Structure 1
Amino acid sequence: MGKLFRLITLMMMGFGLILVISACTGDETNQESAAEETDQVLNLTRKSQITTMDSSMATDEVSFQMLGATMEGLYRLDENAKPTEAIATNHEVSDDGMQWTFDLREDAEWSNGDPVTAEDFVYAWRRAVDPATGSEYGPYMMEGVIKNAGAISNGDKNVETLGVTAKDAHTLVVELVKPVPYFESLMTFGTFLPLNKGFVEEQGEDYAQSADNLLFNGPFVLKNWKSTSDSWKLVKNDSYWDAEEVDLEKLTYKVVKDAQTAVDLYESGDVDRAQLTSDLVDKYSTHEDYSTRSKPVVYYLKMNQTRNEALANENIRAAISRAFDKEAIANEILNDGSTAANALVPKDFAPLPEGMDVEGDEFRDVNGDLVKYDVEKAQAYWKKGLEELGKDSIELEFLGGDSETSKVMQEYLVNQLESNLEGLDLTLKQVPGEQKLDLDADMDYDIQISAWGPDYLDPYSFLGLFETDGAYNKMGYSNEKYDKLLAEAQNELATPDKAAERYQNFIEAEKILFEDAAIAPVYQEYVSLLVSEEVQGVITNPIGPTYEYKWAEMVKGK
């Protein structure tokens, strides 16, 4: 369709342009009409508006969700959390892992009929890392990964030196700083989506301010949206290269901040999914449509080894990590499907590479539980630690947040620790989130509850937090062997042929972290939902967009 319209424009110039606009408008109208007449409509709510549809500027879950539905990068994640072909049909990696060459499909096009080309990726990535753009995720995702990204974001090099080039219209070459084994999964993340340079620059400051100021190349197109909208819809993109695989004709969204209101809409049949808060779980946990899904977010206690000598003692830390009932926190306080965490790398997150001689399909299957609630063991460690310190009591400060759920959980943790460890005196300090981040950055705390979720599909996204010089360590933990294992994993073992050996390093490193009692895991986050049984084929992603709707469908009569 796009090629035909461009030919008409060349042949007929002025009058042809009118034909093009009319034809495009008619096609869009027909597309929406088809969506109105089908049963393939999914009705949903969101808790907040779309923050931005500019892939260079997106940082939040809602924005990445809508970008993931309407846009397409080199790869998408499939139902097994593995990258599957999207704009890229395949790729080759150099022997040293430093150069990736992507072959792009020739049948992908933008919603205005322009072809999607390698130059669209070059432009988008340069724009995201350019300090003039002001992107947060561009530098964060590219520094230390793509050649010259750090120097460019610091203003020391020109954006044209970024290690990404268009060899030709359908061949993209990327040069890395060092081998990055998870680079393929990184290519599914929203920051790396392409952009149509001509369109973006033509829109100027209006770009991404409304659906009319956007182009799409993904399964759906955004309709009836501007930056202040409380409702919008996604309509199937008939010009999408893989449109035959897309069954849903339309998704509608309405901003509903109150969970009970969302449930009421679900009960009345106005929406097909509703997320439950902890106060609603008991009421609906026996509902036939009740379900839970895991999130790769782990909450844990950080113990600062530099501020209080007691926490520099391994036995004291080991005691604290075993002295609170995680199951009670997950099942009684949170009551939202969350589960007790007994390690760092979460469940349902890191599939094992081929060639590993181990039981199981994912990382968590191999290492299992590394530290569990055990009062008897906790008290034995505590007694030994007190003897080593020459003390019979310890005073510590517990830093926490000030939300209602956080307060209840923190008060419970303090009570558990003081009750199970005789001689422990904890002062609970609850502060707003921003102040808590500042205190963490300054290492001005003893114990605090923290959380981490990944931006790429690899155990290093969690384990790298606790390297000696890790930017998020902020607790004085250091283990030379731990650092060495991770350094090897990120360097000499970072080539494709050493994936299994690299994961063995991660397995050993996580064990060391808990042998040292560096942190005390609390729970892995889950979400409780009511989902219509008619909704089939929705994929829950561990990174990037929370949900994938490309392969979803409504099966009536279920």
Structure 2
Amino acid sequence: MKKKLSFLLVLVLALSTFLAACGGNESSDEGNSGESGKDKQVLNLIESSEIPSMDSALATDEVSFDTMNNVFEGLYRLDDNDKAVEGMVEGEPTISEDGKTWTFKIKDAKWSNGDPVTAHDFEYAWKRVLTPDTAAEYGYIMYDLKNAEKVHNGELPVDQLGVKAIDDKTLEVQLETKVPYFKELLTFATFYPRNEAFIKEQGDQYALEADTILYNGPFVLSEWKHEQSYQLKKNPDYWDKDVVKLEEINFNIVKDTATGVNLYETGKADIAGLSAEFVDQYKEDENFKTRPNTSVFFLRLNQENEVMANLDARKAIDMAWDKQGLVDVLLNNGSVPANYLVPGEFVSGPDGKDFRETNGDLGSYDVEKAKDHWEKAKKALGKDKIELELLNYDSENSRKVGEYLKEQLESSLEGLTLTISQQPFKQKLDLETKGQYDISFAGWGPDYPDPMTFIDMFITDGSHNQMGYSNPEYDKLVEQANTTLLDDLDARWQALLEAEKILFEDQAISPMYQEGIAYLEKPYVKDVYRHSFGAGKSYKWTYIENK
């Protein structure tokens, strides 16, 4: 999912994605009628940031993916059990005996300008992602397609990619090898179709405003006031429009928890995310809810920096701060300390055991060992004083986490000065992509139901590596798990387990916590589907229970 987160993919914090308040237009307050129900199918929510991108070839973050999931649709979308159900596809695909060729039929569906959605729209969109000039960070998620990696690297022409529109209604997809979760993978935003004529007409203005985008999903982006608010309205041309009950969804961009809670209390918000102090205040409220999540937050340790290139320095950074204290005191929302990358209760192996149960914890809080590693690092670097900068989100809760890390690390590691650079979400992602940081507070949510969605993030020169990490043995295990071992699932699982261990032997990152979410939700809000991978939320089936 994403820089979510991360889901990223980087992810915004839990409270950021679940805050709620009045919408961004005059009608956003209409229909409120107390706790028992509302008169209209209007949902009012809050996001913590501007939408970084509405171009499915370029987006990398949870806010973008969540929005796109509700205004676009690929061959499949996720249901309430995270199973792939029909989107633009009609019926079951035809699959070759070796599992490498899939043939899909495209249903009768329209773009918001009235054009039919065709197989050509998928062929064009997928080739556009992998055209080197597009510079799509998420291009690698398509590497299961035949020749995709070579096309993306410019080694083969794009017409050699394993996707072809046989006719308007028939899409043939060829894979490098069989993929057991291929339907679920196709729900991801990078695989959405695109209307070639419209994109060429818009030129460099494509996807920058609500009216420079075409939609084929349950809703359309009807209004986009950058850095302020945006609005979704029901798409009258959507093929399954009779299932869609909501007429309008309003998002305001608010970074402050107290503001969101106040709007909830005054009836102008339907959902409000809670930070630690509000959890204590509302935990007995009948509308208080918590839920676990599969997003993992961690510190990127940029090895392009001289200090972070030192293994002892990285180990010191990881061991020197108290993760349990972070989740207990600052978060207080069901998050749990993470000494790992792949989250718990996410996926199980061929033996039926959870990945996390098998690999266990791969680190620990140990100040004395941290001090030893730190002294070794300073000696090797020839430095008594070290200054590092933490790249941080600009939300309220992120600021508190940053301050906590600064206090913990500076008090444990003699001679360290940690400054904090808080940046708006979009700018933070840009700085991270460019590698312009020392340490970065980051997060990742899974894009599909397999450990690989976390593991392959850190291969050498990977588009989401972004921290100069490289280990040939790690790369080899990832490559084998993506190719030759797909016919031996037990061996593949072992390769993924071993790869995660190598990542922590190298202390490539300092994991922080696996996310939990605490929030208030009005009782009349029904069937918001919250997913464990891919886009975070679906509103196709959501409705307001009338009084």
Query: Which residue pairs with 2:342 in the alignment?
Result: 345
Query: Which residue pairs with 1:126 in the alignment?
Result: 127
Question: Could you say if the C-alpha distance between residues 227 and 150 of structure 1 is closer, same or farther in structure 2, counting changes exceeding 3 Å?
Answer: farther
Query: Which residue pairs with 1:269 in the alignment?
Result: 267
> Match of 2:184, as an amino acid?
S
Q: Which runs of 5+ in 2 are unaligned?
A: 1-37
- Displacement of 1:76 in angstroms is 1.2
- Cα distance in 2, alignment partners of residues 67 and 387 from structure 1: 48
Contact 2:60-2:138 at 8 Å conserved across structures: no
> Match of 1:521, as an amino acid?
P
Contact 1:122-1:164 at 8 Å conserved across structures: yes
Query: Which residue pairs with 1:548 in the alignment?
Result: 538
What secondary structure, in the 3-state scheme, does the structure 2 residue paired with 1:287 have?
coil
Query: Which residue pairs with 1:83 in the alignment?
Result: 84
Contact 1:303-1:317 at 8 Å conserved across structures: no
Contact 1:148-1:161 at 8 Å conserved across structures: yes
Query: Which residue pairs with 1:31 in the alignment?
Result: none
- Cα distance in 1, alignment partners of residues 200 and 429 from structure 2: 40
Query: Which residue pairs with 1:220 in the alignment?
Result: 219
Q: Which runs of 5+ in 1 are unaligned?
A: 1-36
1:427 is aligned to 2:427:
no
Between stretches 226-235 and 268-277, larger displacement belongs to 226-235
- Cα distance in 1, alignment partners of residues 109 and 483 from structure 2: 35
Question: Could you say if the C-alpha distance between residues 38 and 135 of structure 1 is closer, same or farther in structure 2, counting changes exceeding 3 Å?
Answer: farther
Contact 2:77-2:85 at 8 Å conserved across structures: yes
Structure with greater contact order relative to length (CA < 8 Å, sep ≥ 6):
2
1:451 is aligned to 2:449:
no
Contact 1:306-1:312 at 8 Å conserved across structures: no
1:252-267 aligned at under 5 Å gives the runs 252-259=249-256, 260-267=258-265
What secondary structure, in the 3-state scheme, does the structure 1 residue paired with 2:484 have?
coil
What secondary structure, in the 3-state scheme, does the structure 2 residue paired with 1:172 have?
strand
Query: Which residue pairs with 2:500 in the alignment?
Result: 510
Between stretches 120-129 and 192-201, larger displacement belongs to 192-201
Higher helix share: 1
Summarize deviations over 1:164-221 as a string: whole Å, max 9, x none: 1012333312234566665443321222211334555566677656656654332234
Between stretches 325-334 and 108-117, larger displacement belongs to 108-117
1:163 is aligned to 2:162:
yes
- Cα distance in 2, alignment partners of residues 370 and 49 from structure 1: 35
Question: Could you say if the C-alpha distance between residues 492 and 257 of structure 1 is closer, same or farther in structure 2, counting changes exceeding 3 Å?
Answer: same
- Cα distance in 2, alignment partners of residues 217 and 401 from structure 1: 37
- Cα distance in 2, alignment partners of residues 225 and 388 from structure 1: 49
- Cα distance in 1, alignment partners of residues 51 and 529 from structure 2: 21
- Cα distance in 1, alignment partners of residues 281 and 211 from structure 2: 43
- Cα distance in 2, alignment partners of residues 198 and 440 from structure 1: 30
- Cα distance in 2, alignment partners of residues 266 and 116 from structure 1: 39
Query: Which residue pairs with 1:102 in the alignment?
Result: 103
**Paired residue total:** 499
1:235 is aligned to 2:234:
yes
- Displacement of 1:326 in angstroms is 0.7
- Displacement of 1:233 in angstroms is 3.3
1:535 is aligned to 2:520:
no
Contact 1:236-1:249 at 8 Å conserved across structures: no
1:359 is aligned to 2:353:
yes
> Match of 2:362, as an amino acid?
L
Question: Could you say if the C-alpha distance between residues 530 and 500 of structure 1 is closer, same or farther in structure 2, counting changes exceeding 3 Å?
Answer: farther
Question: Could you say if the C-alpha distance between residues 431 and 342 of structure 1 is closer, same or farther in structure 2, counting changes exceeding 3 Å?
Answer: same
What secondary structure, in the 3-state scheme, does the structure 1 residue paired with 2:261 have?
helix
What secondary structure, in the 3-state scheme, does the structure 1 residue paired with 2:45 have?
strand
1:69 is aligned to 2:70:
yes
Contact 2:469-2:508 at 8 Å conserved across structures: no
Contact 2:287-2:522 at 8 Å conserved across structures: yes
- Displacement of 1:247 in angstroms is 4.7
- Cα distance in 2, alignment partners of residues 151 and 540 from structure 1: 35
1:379 is aligned to 2:368:
yes
- Displacement of 1:250 in angstroms is 1.5
What secondary structure, in the 3-state scheme, does the structure 2 residue paired with 1:270 have?
coil
> Match of 1:87, as an amino acid?
M
Contact 2:119-2:171 at 8 Å conserved across structures: yes
- Cα distance in 2, alignment partners of residues 226 and 151 from structure 1: 39
Contact 1:400-1:406 at 8 Å conserved across structures: no
Question: Could you say if the C-alpha distance between residues 425 and 76 of structure 1 is closer, same or farther in structure 2, counting changes exceeding 3 Å?
Answer: same
What secondary structure, in the 3-state scheme, does the structure 2 residue paired with 1:351 have?
coil
What secondary structure, in the 3-state scheme, does the structure 2 residue paired with 1:81 have?
coil
What secondary structure, in the 3-state scheme, does the structure 1 residue paired with 2:485 have?
coil
Question: Could you say if the C-alpha distance between residues 282 and 118 of structure 1 is closer, same or farther in structure 2, counting changes exceeding 3 Å?
Answer: same
- Cα distance in 2, alignment partners of residues 137 and 467 from structure 1: 14
**What TM-score do you get using the length of structure 2 for normalisation?**
0.74
- Displacement of 1:418 in angstroms is 6.2
Query: Which residue pairs with 2:46 in the alignment?
Result: 45
What secondary structure, in the 3-state scheme, does the structure 2 residue paired with 1:345 have?
coil
- Cα distance in 1, alignment partners of residues 456 and 223 from structure 2: 42
Query: Which residue pairs with 2:330 in the alignment?
Result: 333
Question: Could you say if the C-alpha distance between residues 242 and 502 of structure 1 is closer, same or farther in structure 2, counting changes exceeding 3 Å?
Answer: farther
Between stretches 118-127 and 76-85, larger displacement belongs to 76-85
What secondary structure, in the 3-state scheme, does the structure 1 residue paired with 2:92 have?
strand
What secondary structure, in the 3-state scheme, does the structure 2 residue paired with 1:324 have?
coil
Contact 1:87-1:105 at 8 Å conserved across structures: yes
- Displacement of 1:71 in angstroms is 1.8
1:185 is aligned to 2:181:
no
Question: Could you say if the C-alpha distance between residues 370 and 213 of structure 1 is closer, same or farther in structure 2, counting changes exceeding 3 Å?
Answer: closer
Question: Could you say if the C-alpha distance between residues 359 and 476 of structure 1 is closer, same or farther in structure 2, counting changes exceeding 3 Å?
Answer: closer
- Displacement of 1:493 in angstroms is 1.4
